Amino acid sequence: KNEVEQSPQNLTAQEGEFITINCSYSVGISALHWLQQHPGGGIVSLFMLSSGKKKHGRLIATINIQEKHSSLHITASHPRDSAVYICAVSSSDKLIFGTGTRLQVFP
């Protein structure tokens, strides 16, 4: 079993829909990261959080330390949000990654 599990693996949405991507982990962590990777592109850090909730524009990330679970929400989704979203946890100076959620948003 992977130490970081994401769901769903693939997600399609119509423009404007509210999107949720989930991440569960099984190890002790100091922080959790959400990353974005566009097709053929580099990897960009969206959020790093260790408790509570963070918001940046249309993106919201939450974490529940007791339940070892995090969610990434995208409000009013847009085709430019189409990308792979990766959850990663910081554990012992290293990151452990989920396998990513591929999101496609259609106009």
By the rule CB under 8 A, 44 interacts with other proteins:
yes
By the rule CB under 8 A, 43 interacts with other proteins:
yes
Q: Which two tokens stand for residue 38?
A: 């566009």
The answer to whether residues 30 and 91 touch, using CB atoms and an 8 Å cutoff, is yes
Strand 59-64 to strand 31-37: parallel, antiparallel, or no bridges (unpaired)? unpaired
Q: CA 59, 85, 52, 13 torsion: positive or negative?
A: positive
Interface positions, 53-82, toward other proteins (CB under 8 A): none
Name the minimum Å distance from CB 72 to other proteins. 15
Name the minimum Å distance from CB 35 to other proteins. 8
| Contact window for other proteins (CB under 8 A) among 12-20, 51-59, 64-72, 86-94 | 86-94
